[in-house]
Structure formats: C-alpha cells, structure tokens
Amino acid sequence: MGDGRRVRMTKQQIIDDIHAGMADGADAARVPELSEEEMERICEIVCDKNKIVSVEPGKEVVLSKDAGTTKFNMANNGCGVGIPSTGLLDGQLIYERCFAFDSMEFAWMDYSIKPTKAVIDFMLINYEQMSQMTTMPLVMGAMPNMGLYFAPDGPHANPTDLMREFKIEESMAASEAAADQLTNDIGYICERIGEVGCEGFDFDTTASAGDAEFVATLRGIENYRKIDPEAYIECGMSAENVLGIHGSMEYDGKIVAGMYPHEQVKLVEKAGANIFGPVVNTNSSRSFAWNVARSAVIVKECEKVSNIPVHVNLGMGVGGIPMCELPPTDIVGRSGKILIEIANVDGI
C-alpha cells in the first residue's frame, strides 16, 4: 500500500487498481491514457513473484541524486542513517566507488538556497578539492525552498497567513517580493560556484512553496544559463502539480499554477536546464498498483514531450513508492522497472 503496509490482493483487484490509478492520473494531468498492453505489462511486473525485480541488461538508466551525501550523517528526520562522518568529502567517494553512482550533488546539510548562501565559501573550498578526487559529474545542489523567506524565518510576511486574513493583494505581493529575493540569491550562488570550476547545479524539490517559487527558480536557471552556457543544470520538482499560492505568476507568458509535469518540463527546458525531474505524489491510502500506474501515465507524457532527459523522482512518497521511512525493496525495483519500460524515463 501507499503507506508501506504489505497486503494480499487478487490478480483482478490488481488489474482494477491499475486501471483506476491510470485513469485518475490521466484525468488529473489531462494526458492520454495508457494502452491495454501497457497496463497488462504493469500487471505482469507488479505480480512478479521475485522480491528483487529489475530491467533487462542493456535497459539500465543513470541515477542523479537528491541532497547528495547529507543522508550519511543526518538523523532519520532528515532521512539520514546517522553515521558520524564528513559526507561532503568521504561521502562523495563512497557514493562513487561503493554505490557506483552516476552523478552526485555537493550539498550543504541545511539543503536550501538561503542557508547555502551563508556558507558559500566553505562549500567552494571543499568542492574545489573534491572535484580533483572524484570522477563522476559533481554539481552543487539545494532546494530553492522559498518558505524560508517568509515569517517567522524570513523577512517577508507569510502569504498563507495573509490569505487567512483575506489580505489577498498583500499575500500576492509578499510572494512576489520573496521570489525576487530567491532569484537574486540563486544568482549569487551560481556566480560564486563558477569561481572553482563547479560543473553545475541541481535545483531540487522546486516549487515546494508554490507557483512563485517555481517562477523564481526558472528565472534563476535562465540567469545561470546566461552567465555559464556550459553549466550542468538539473531541475527536479517537489510535487506533481504547481500549487497556486499566488495564483497569477507567469513564466514565458504562461500561468504556472496548476501545471503538471508535461507542462512544467517545457518551461524548465525553455529556462535552460539539461535534466528535468518530474514528481508524481503517492496516495498513501491506495495500493502500489494504483499509485505506480498513475505515475506511469503522467510521467510517460512528460518524457514524450520533453527535449531534455527526464530523471523521474523515485523515493519515499513519490513515483509509486510508499510514504514510509524504509521503502520496501520489492516496490522500489518494480517502480523503477515500470517507469523505465512504460514511461521511457532517461534516469532516476
């Protein structure tokens, strides 16, 4: 189930859930439905009796990362395993040579643009040395996380508090002001990381504070691309659709609120990113079959319309994976296989 419980279902129940989840996804995102053959294939993979399920040799895809090596020394509330270590340094090499990762992020433990700005010199001097030891593509990474710019953590009034007081115009103004500040901070960081030959930046969990954050990040990517035409830029999302906290924010003449992955990717592409990371939220009350079919139909259209590689977000609470601390291994393998085979993703 979407909450991590193991349940027993008949084959017919699984088939019914695949159809229902797929239809729900197609309706929500307004994308074409999967074919009967594709849903039968999903059923075959879901019903595979083996615990470890993977793709055929030759069908492997590459991996990029969310939050880099911070998982080593963080506690479980940061999804970490709590090993006293310097994840930023030895962690990079462990990911490269023990886990055979394809690329990695150099990420500050407080994984957001605002706190990273405060420690940028620390990040630069350590990145510069680690770039000489690592072989894989090594980019910096952080969440735009515009929520940190609002009260009580930041200088701008909280838009949701203002909305509760029916101060709609003030709420929109606060979002716009915070978005401008976020774009400026992204610009500062991206300019500084060029000083040490940083290969690029992963904007992860984008639009967690809604449409204004998405626009601020797109503007930040656009500016970064202008100052560094060769930068490696990845932009991953926080949720399947963009929340309209502001409601009228536009990028490239389009209102971004309510956009789904196949629409989001076109703006990310336009801004100048190299890789897009779509999200499909897991419904914790529904079965894995329901959730993964829903993910497949939404991500398939995103991959189809995209001119840049698509690395689907596949982890706790997204991409069909249950919302729990230790995602079951049998589910993780099946999700990956289904999204590679049915949605044709370029990476995870």
Q: Which residues bind other proteins (CB under 8 A)?
A: 57-58, 60-62, 96-98, 100, 103, 128, 131-135, 137-139, 196-200, 230-232, 234, 274-275, 307-309, 345-347
Concatenated DSSP letters of 56-85: PTT---B---SSTTHHHHS-GGGT-----S
Which residue number, 64 or 241, has a Cβ lying nearer to other proteins?
64
Q: In the complex, what is the shortest distance from the CB of residue 348 to other proteins, in angstroms, rounded to a whole number?
A: 11
**Which two tokens mark 249?**
């924010």
Q: In the complex, what is the shortest distance from the CB of residue 69 to other proteins, in angstroms, rounded to a whole number?
A: 16
Distance between CA 242 and CA 10 in Å, rounded? 36
Q: In the complex, what is the shortest distance from the CB of residue 304 to other proteins, in angstroms, rounded to a whole number?
A: 11
- Picking from 168, 253, 189, 158, the residue whose alpha carbon sits closest to that of residue 215 is 253
Q: In the complex, what is the shortest distance from the CB of residue 180 to other proteins, in angstroms, rounded to a whole number?
A: 28
With both helix axes pointing from N to C terminus, report the angle between 288-305 and 36-46 in degrees, rounded to the nearest 10: 130
Which residue number, 79 or 196, has a Cβ lying nearer to other proteins?
196
Taking only Cα atoms into account, the Rg of the chain, rounded to an integer number of angstroms, comes to: 20
Torsion over CA: 232, 334, 316, 30 (sign): positive
**Which two tokens mark 278?**
């779509």
Concatenated DSSP letters of 237-269: ESSSS---SSS--EETTEE-TT--HHHHHHHHH
Q: In the complex, what is the shortest distance from the CB of residue 196 to other proteins, in angstroms, rounded to a whole number?
A: 6
Q: In the complex, what is the shortest distance from the CB of residue 268 to other proteins, in angstroms, rounded to a whole number?
A: 12
Which residue number, 64 or 217, has a Cβ lying nearer to other proteins?
64
Which residue number, 197 or 258, has a Cβ lying nearer to other proteins?
197
Q: In the complex, what is the shortest distance from the CB of residue 109 to other proteins, in angstroms, rounded to a whole number?
A: 22
Locate the DSSP E strands across 95-212.
Answer: 104-106, 138-142, 200-206
Which residue number, 3 or 60, has a Cβ lying nearer to other proteins?
60
- Asked if residue 153 lies in contact with residue 227, where contact means CB atoms within 8 angstroms, the answer is no
Which residue number, 193 or 297, has a Cβ lying nearer to other proteins?
193
Give burial (CB, 10 Å; 0-12/13-18/19+) of 68: buried
Locate the DSSP E strands across the chain.
Answer: 104-106, 138-142, 200-206, 232-237, 250-251, 254-255, 275-277
DSSP-based three-state secondary structure for 321: coil
Which residue number, 139 or 162, has a Cβ lying nearer to other proteins?
139
Q: In the complex, what is the shortest distance from the CB of residue 32 to other proteins, in angstroms, rounded to a whole number?
A: 20
Which residue number, 25 or 347, has a Cβ lying nearer to other proteins?
347
138-142 and 104-106 as β-strands: parallel, antiparallel, unpaired? parallel
Which residue number, 7 or 98, has a Cβ lying nearer to other proteins?
98
Q: In the complex, what is the shortest distance from the CB of residue 29 to other proteins, in angstroms, rounded to a whole number?
A: 21
